[in-house]
Chains A and B, each alone.
Chain A
Amino acid sequence: MNSLTCLVDLYKCYEVLKEESVIFSHQGALDGEMIDIIIQLADKKLVKANARVRIKKKIINILVECLQNSYHYTASLPNEADWLMIIESPYVIVSYREDAYYILTGNLITRERAEALKKRIDEITRLDDEGLQEHYIRSLDKDELPKQGGAGLGLIDIMRRAHHRVSFSFEEVDEKLSRFSMLIKVV
Chain B
Amino acid sequence: MDNIEIEGTPKTPEVRFTHESGQLIISGRSIPENSYQFYEPLLTWLDDYAQSPFAVTLLTFQLDYFNTSSSMYILGILKKLEKMYLAGHQAQVKWIYDVDDEDMLQTGEDFKQIVKLPIEMVEIDQEEA
- Residues of A bordering B, CB below 8 Å: 32, 35-36, 39-40, 52-54, 57-58, 60-61, 64-65, 68, 71-72, 136-137, 140-142, 145-151, 153-154, 157, 160-161
Contact = CB atoms under 8 A, between A and B. Distances in A.
B57 to A, nearest CB: 21
B102 interface: yes
Nearest to B104: A57
A interface: dominant SS? helix
Given A141-B75, A142-B72, A72 B65 contact: no
B interface: dominant SS? helix
A16 to B, nearest CB: 31
A153 B114 CA distance: 16
B53 to A, nearest CB: 22
Interface of B: 10-11, 31, 33-36, 39, 64-69, 71-73, 75-76, 98, 100-104, 106, 110, 113-114, 126-127
Contacts of A35: 33
B36 A147 contact: yes
A145 B10 contact: no
21 contacts: A32-B33, A39-B10, A57-B104, A60-B65, A61-B66, A61-B67, A64-B65, A65-B67, A65-B68, A68-B69, A72-B33, A140-B72, A140-B75, A140-B114, A141-B75, A145-B36, A145-B72, A146-B69, A150-B69, A153-B68, A153-B71
A151 B102 contact: no
Nearest to A136: B110
Contacts, number: 83
A148 B68 CA distance: 11
Contacts of B73: 145
A82 B65 CA distance: 34
A57 B98 CA distance: 10
Contacts of A60: 65
A35 B29 CA distance: 14
Contacts of B10: 36, 39-40
A53 B104 CA distance: 12
Contacts of A64: 31, 65, 67
Contacts of A161: 103
B103 A146 contact: no
A177 to B, nearest CB: 24
A90 to B, nearest CB: 14
A150 B39 CA distance: 13
